[in-house]
């Protein structure tokens, strides 16, 4: 590691400005930090001290930023003791946050990014959407969830029907980013099936020229990422995935959060925190 | 840096008694990603455990939180001695701090060979890790056998003139005896203690959470154990002027002071960095202030100043009559 990375991550006491609970023990947390709002790139995360009772921090992806007001949003689901205690934090409380951390998604010359997020893997996709909403990219977003979506899904303005998927996430609609939803549950206007099933419907509707402009970006549960990577391979599309792993330091010091990656010189254990969390799917799965 | 924190350790001049511990700070540069963190704020940095050949390390999960601590089983992932010497060491900024390489082998000869390789470099010291609990061969297998410990240290001593620090395992019956053997074999300093072996189980899958099934417990949970071990080792080491890096769960200024009073010349910080990456200056400030408040000119005047209680009255109730 060279000295050019020095000082790239900050330790900041951030105040909680909003904390909403949604069905399925999902929460959206808004925190005050002009520094993090300014520095964050899509796919990066923060490492949070969730309470005085738990010493280890918890890594959580940044979903969106509000550069004007200097805030950032996190979406998380209660899955263990750390997120359980985070869910108890109230507006006005101050938490120690390290961030922003990690590499970020690379936007390439492929102008049709296909963003696929599942469950609490949605935030990095929303983060990408926000970063390219005013550019010449034409993203298509697929969000999947088996719990009720942590937003009030509504019919998309463009009324395009992708095998029953007509509804979208209001935030993405406001940004002008086309989005459709998938779930095995029977939700109105939502594709009934896996995100990869809906992705096929979308991809099969593209011309050969359009297909050549697609790059897949994904984050979600491991089995979903395996399926997305397989789909990308079938369609011969490049695919970047965001991974997670139990993490201690989050700055590359402890090598606790590794994932096995294929490299030119054979397999290597790469750190999710600073070598990732974004990896080339073809090298991981 | 506070002038009263300057100290000598195994011949090295340190600006602070804080040593950043092996396995927690990569190869020295990783924590500098944090704004406000500087290696210049610590006396020395112990680099990641290094073996002769590259190692991929253990499968995930490698870390998990436990009450007041964490379990890790990294498995000595490292790029091997040659890469460390040729590609990593040239980039270390030696104007900032002292760098100590931590070495591990699966045989006595391997330890000796690595020590010999680093003897030809400008590394400041070598820490012999005979206490890693997370590898199948070597590591703690040497540390828990005082005679094997002796042989490892003896060969390293033969192969290098660098200061040698031996990192002792708490997972053994008599750590003071082991310390004595390492001193006899020629170690210049002792690091007390490495992690304690532990386990955590996922009750849903009924499998160990850690990929390696078991791992090393660190953090505040082990501090009282580490403190006692330092006290026990100091009873031996003080007679040979062999200094100790006291380590194991140090998270506050008071923790650091306890270790110094028990006999540590320097204090190791590891897991606490994961909680607060900017903890070092808080501990520097606190130790410095304590020295001033207690009219002590240096750390040396505080090391090993513990006065034991006379524990004879606990069963004696006669005086109450």
CATH of the domain at A94: 2.40.30.10
Determine the structural domain holding residue A139 and report its residue range: 112-242
For residue B69, the chain A residues in CB contact (below 8 A) are 55
A6 at interface of B, judged by CB pairs closer than 8 A: yes
The percent of residues in chain B predicted with pLDDT above 90, rounded, is: 90
CB contact at 8 A, A17 and A71 = yes
Tell me what pLDDT residue A1 has.
Answer: 67
- CA proximity to A255, closest of B82, B73, B272: B73
Residue B229's pLDDT band (cuts 50, 70, 90): very high
Tell me what pLDDT residue B312 has.
Answer: 66
What pTM did the predictor assign?
A: 0.95
Partner-chain residue, chosen from A2, A249, A257, that has the shortest CB–CB distance to B91: A2
Both A92 and A118 in one domain: the answer is no
At the second CATH level, the architecture of B3-301 is Alpha-Beta Barrel (3.20)
Task: Report whether pLDDT(B139) > 80.
Answer: no
Both A128 and A228 in one domain: the answer is yes
Residue A284, domain member (yes or no): no
β-sheet with B69-72: strand ranges across: B63-66, B69-72, B215-218, B196-198
pLDDT tens, chain A, 285 aa long:
668 889 999 999 999 999 999 999 999 999 999 999 999 999 999 999 999 999 999 999 999 999 999 999 999 999 999 999 999 999 999 999 999 999 999 999 999 999 999 999 999 999 999 999 999 999 999 999 999 999 999 999 998 999 999 999 999 999 999 999 999 999 999 999 999 999 999 999 999 999 999 999 999 999 999 999 999 999 999 999 999 999 999 999 999 999 999 999 999 999 999 999 999 999 999
Both A201 and A122 in one domain: the answer is yes
Residue A267, domain member (yes or no): no
Task: Report whether pLDDT(B320) > 70.
Answer: no
Both A86 and A152 in one domain: the answer is no
A101, A125, A150 - which closes a domain: A101
B148: left (phi over 0), alpha (psi -120 to 50) or beta: alpha
Number of structural domains chain A divides into = 2
Both A88 and A123 in one domain: the answer is no
Task: Report whether pLDDT(B141) > 80.
Answer: no
Residue A209, domain member (yes or no): yes
Both A43 and A23 in one domain: the answer is yes
A70, A101, A132 - which closes a domain: A101
Identify the DSSP state of A149: P
Query: B67-87, pLDDT tens digit by residue?
Result: 999 999 999 999 999 999 999
CA gap A22, A41 in Å, rounded: 26
Both A127 and A238 in one domain: the answer is yes
Alpha helical stretches, state H, chain A: 34-39, 81-87, 122-132, 170-175, 195-204, 208-211, 222-234, 281-284
Q: What is the mean pLDDT of chain B?
A: 95
Task: Report whether pLDDT(B144) > 90.
Answer: no
Give the residue from chain B lying closest to A7, CA to CA. Answer: B35
Please classify residue B8 by burial: count the beta carbons closer than 10 Å to its beta carbon, then call 0-12 exposed, 13-18 middle and 19+ buried: middle
Tell me what pLDDT residue B321 has.
Answer: 44
Residue A180, domain member (yes or no): yes
Both A124 and A238 in one domain: the answer is yes
* Domain spans of chain B, in order of start: 3-301
Taking CB atoms and an 8 Å limit, are A98 and B277 in contact across chains?
A: yes
Both A96 and A116 in one domain: the answer is no
> ipTM value of the model?
0.94
Interface of B with A (CB under 8 A): 23-27, 29-36, 48, 56-57, 59-65, 68-70, 72, 74, 77, 91, 93, 209, 219-220, 251, 271, 273-278
Give the residue from chain A lying closest to B70, CA to CA. Answer: A56
Query: B188-203, pLDDT tens digit by residue?
Result: 999 999 999 999 999 9
A252 at interface of B, judged by CB pairs closer than 8 A: yes
H or E segment and range at residue B215? strand B215-218
Taking CB atoms and an 8 Å limit, are B32 and A253 in contact across chains?
A: no
Q: B155: which 2 tokens?
A: 């060969």
Query: B84-114, pLDDT tens digit by residue?
Result: 999 999 999 999 999 999 999 999 999 999 9
Tell me what pLDDT residue B211 has.
Answer: 97
């Amino acid at each position: 590691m060279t000295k050019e990375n020095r000082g790239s991550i900050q330790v900041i006491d951030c105040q909680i400005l909003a904390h909403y609970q949604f069905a399925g023990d999902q929460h959206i947390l808004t925190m005050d930090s002009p520094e993090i709002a300014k520095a964050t790139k899509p796919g990066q995360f923060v490492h949070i001290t969730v309470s005085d009772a738990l010493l280890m921090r918890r890594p959580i992806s940044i979903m969106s930023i509000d550069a004007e007001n200097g805030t950032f949003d996190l979406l998380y689901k209660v899955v263990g003791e750390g997120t359980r205690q985070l869910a108890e934090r109230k507006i006005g409380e101050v938490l120690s946050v390290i961030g922003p951390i990690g590499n970020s998604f690379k936007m390439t010359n492929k102008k049709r990014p296909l963003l696929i997020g599942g469950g609490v893997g949605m935030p990095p996709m929303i983060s990408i959407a926000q970063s390219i909403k005013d550019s010449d990219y034409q993203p298509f977003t697929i969000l999947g969830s088996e719990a009720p979506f942590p937003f009030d899904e509504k019919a998309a303005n463009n009324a395009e029907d992708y095998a029953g998927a007509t509804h979208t996430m209001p935030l993405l609609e406001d940004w002008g980013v086309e989005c459709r939803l998938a779930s095995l549950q029977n939700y109105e206007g939502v594709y009934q099936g896996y995100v990869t099933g809906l992705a096929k419907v979308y991809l099969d509707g593209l011309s050969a020229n359009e297909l050549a402009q697609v790059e897949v970006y994904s984050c979600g549960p491991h089995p979903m990422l395996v399926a997305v990577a397989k789909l990308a391979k079938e369609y011969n599309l490049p695919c970047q995935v965001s991974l997670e792993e139990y993490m201690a330091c989050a700055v590359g010091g402890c090598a606790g959060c590794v994932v096995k990656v294929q490299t030119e010189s054979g397999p290597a254990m790469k750190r999710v925190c600073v070598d990732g969390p974004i990896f080339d799917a073809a090298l991981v799965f | 840096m506070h002038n009263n924190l300057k100290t000598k350790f195994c011949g090295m001049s340190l600006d602070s008694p804080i040593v950043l511990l092996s396995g927690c700070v990569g190869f020295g540069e990783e924590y500098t990603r944090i704004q406000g963190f500087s290696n210049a704020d610590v006396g020395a940095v112990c680099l990641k455990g290094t073996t002769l050949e590259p190692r991929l390390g253990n499968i995930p999960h490698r870390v998990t939180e436990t009450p007041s601590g964490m379990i890790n089983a990294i498995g000595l992932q490292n790029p091997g001695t040659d890469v460390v010497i040729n590609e990593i060491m040239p980039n270390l900024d030696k104007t900032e701090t002292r760098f100590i390489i931590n070495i591990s082998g699966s045989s006595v000869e391997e330890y000796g060979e690595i020590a010999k390789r680093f003897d030809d470099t400008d590394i400041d010291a070598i820490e012999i890790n005979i206490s890693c609990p997370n590898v199948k061969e070597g590591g703690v297998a040497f540390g828990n056998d005082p005679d094997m410990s002796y042989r490892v240290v003896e060969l390293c001593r033969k192969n290098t003139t660098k200061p040698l620090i031996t990192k002792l395992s708490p997972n053994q019956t008599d750590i003071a005896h082991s310390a004595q053997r390492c001193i006899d074999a020629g170690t210049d300093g002792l690091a007390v203690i490495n992690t304690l072996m532990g386990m955590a189980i996922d009750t849903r899958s009924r499998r160990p959470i850690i990929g390696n099934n078991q791992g090393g417990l660190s953090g505040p949970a082990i501090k009282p154990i580490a403190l006692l071990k330092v006290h026990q080792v100091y009873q031996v080491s003080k007679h040979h002027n062999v200094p100790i890096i006291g380590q194991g769960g140090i998270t506050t200024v008071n923790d650091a002071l306890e270790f110094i009073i028990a006999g540590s010349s320097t204090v190791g910080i590891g897991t606490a960095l994961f909680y607060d990456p900017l903890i070092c200056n808080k501990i520097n400030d606190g130790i410095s202030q304590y020295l001033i408040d207690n009219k002590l000119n240096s750390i040396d005047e505080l090391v090993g100043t513990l006065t034991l209680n006379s524990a004879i009255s606990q069963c004696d109730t006669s005086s109450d009559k």
